[in-house]
Amino acid sequence: MKEKVILAYSGGLDTTAIIPWLKENFDYEVICCCIDCGQGEELEGLEERAKLSGASKLYVVDITDEFCDEYIVPCVQAHAVYENKYLLGTSMARPCMAKHFVEIARKEGATAICHGATGKGNDQIRFELGIHALAPDLKIIAPWRMTDIWTMQSREDEIEYCKKHGIDLPFDASHSYSRDRNLWHISHEGLELEDPSTPPDYDHLLVLSVTPEKAPDEAEYVTMTFEKGVPKSINGEEMKVSDIIRKLNELGGKHGIGICDIVENRVVGMKSRGIYETPGGTILYEAHQQLEELILDRATYEMKEEMGNKLSQIVYEGKWFTPLREAVQAFVEKTQEYVTGEVKFKLYKGNIIKAGTTSPYSLYSESLASFTTGDLYDHHDADGFINLFGLPLKVRAMMMQGLEK
């Protein structure tokens, strides 16, 4: 009986060419697995294509709700943003996908998992760290790193390889952006984006959004509610998290929200330039943070910022299945105990503008914050506070004066 390999299958040219390559070079039975994280119409026609290419079976596993509830929500609660811009759309999805590749490998009795990530990117790390953490006994096959037997270097090479193996597929050799899409975002790399001095061709590039210049001239008001840091409703309508993201994507895309042009530092050491469209995610992050401003005390807020930065690094580097991620997430979850309330804002030409935030757990005191004197605050107390708070500065200044004399 042939050994089985689970192929992380997207239906694109790369993973389609890998099917006959695995059979030819390893004599595996190839079982394709496509993980649905909300990429929509990209999944159409996959089964026919996989079997035409020589796969014995195709799994399509819908993990959209799991992805939203167990991976996106913790990152939103932490306000995890990599290098101040990237909202981790691909990074969050990969460990969840790796988990299901392992589950199907166990179900099928497979001995290996194969992925089509390149040797220059982050995804190879994210997939493989996830597999190592969950199934250290499984072999991992990464064709793009096996240059002794993977000799294809271009789309033309892959198309020709498929034709030689009797696979006539609707792909052409024309160059296009390299994209990754799920419910949270879509990323774009390649073409003019490879030159940081060149502006993006947004008219050709954008999929989920319009540019702020093309957004409506009328602002749109939106109201959201949260319960313990989890989004619960939009404009009075309760929805599950995945549907909230879908609705926010629609609203954000319409108003030019969440288009990010970034040169980021990959885990492997190189810089890469990409465009991320995250319309709904950008709104969700901002709305959640507006609510937190009312509720978290200063010391907790400062520490949570540090934990959010740490989580962004953990997720970006593919270290989801680690004790560190669990510990950081546990801290963040504790901070969300009272993050409950309503956030109102308006969307206008790429901007998210505050329009009022309320919470039963708000620490904002109008009597304290106003310029009138309240019962809880005596202005004279500030004298002693400033003297003590500034004492180290004063002592040092006196010492410096003594040295100058």
Span 184-212, pLDDT tens digits: 999 999 999 999 999 999 999 999 999 99
Helix (H/G/I), strand (E/B), else coil: 87: coil
**Residue in the block written with tokens 């020589």:** 54
Which residue among 49, 94, 126, 273 is the active-site one? 94
User: Quick check: is 123 catalytic?
Assistant: yes
Work out the pLDDT band at 373, boundaries 50, 70, 90. Answer: low
**Residue in the block written with tokens 């306000």:** 79
What is the reported pLDDT for 154?
87
What is the reported pLDDT for 261?
98
CATH superfamily of 4-65+87-174: HUPs (3.40.50.620)
What is the reported pLDDT for 299?
98
What is the reported pLDDT for 5?
98
Give yes or no on whether 4-65+87-174 and 179-296+339-358 have one common fold.
Answer: no
DSSP 8-state class, residue 39: -
Percent of the chain exceeding pLDDT 70 equals: 98
> Which is it for the CA torsion 123, 66, 228, 281, positive or negative?
positive
- Asked if residue 371 has pLDDT above 70, the reply is no
Tell me the three-class secondary structure of 94-158, residue by residue: HHHHHHHHHHHHHHHCCCEEECCCCCCCCHHHHHHHHHHHHCCCCEEECHHHCCCCCCCCCHHHH
What is the reported pLDDT for 366?
77
- Asked if residue 71 has pLDDT above 90, the reply is yes
> Domain residue spans in the chain?
4-65+87-174, 179-296+339-358, 366-399
Rounded to the nearest angstrom, the gap between the alpha carbon of residue 218 and the centroid of all alpha carbons in its chain is 30
Which residue among 10, 49, 123, 359 is the active-site one? 123
Taking residues 318-336, report their average pLDDT: 98
User: Taking the model in full, what pTM does it have?
Assistant: 0.94
- Asked if residue 375 has pLDDT above 80, the reply is no
- Asked if residue 226 has pLDDT above 70, the reply is yes
* H-only helix segments in 112-260: 123-134, 155-164, 202-205, 241-254
Work out the pLDDT band at 360, boundaries 50, 70, 90. Answer: very high
Work out the pLDDT band at 40, boundaries 50, 70, 90. Answer: confident
Packed helices 155-164 and 13-26: angle between N→C axes, nearest 10 degrees: 50
Six-digit token string for 338? 């009272």
What is the reported pLDDT for 203?
94
- Asked if residue 168 has pLDDT above 90, the reply is no
Work out the pLDDT band at 378, boundaries 50, 70, 90. Answer: confident
User: Quick check: is 178 catalytic?
Assistant: yes
Which residue among 56, 65, 178, 233 is the active-site one? 178
* CATH number of the 179-296+339-358 domain: 3.90.1260.10
Average pLDDT, the chain: 95
DSSP 8-state class, residue 288: H
Which residue among 14, 91, 179, 273 is the active-site one? 14
What is the reported pLDDT for 21?
97
**Residue in the block written with tokens 């939103």:** 76
Contacting residues for 376 by C-beta, under 8 A, at least 6 apart: 365, 367, 368
Burial of residue 262, with CB atoms counted within 10 A of its CB: 0-12 exposed, 13-18 middle, 19 or more buried? middle
CA 29 – CA 31 distance, rounded (Å): 7
What is the reported pLDDT for 184?
98
- Asked if residue 393 has pLDDT above 90, the reply is yes
Q: Which of 274, 106, 271, 133 is nearest to 200 (CA)?
A: 274
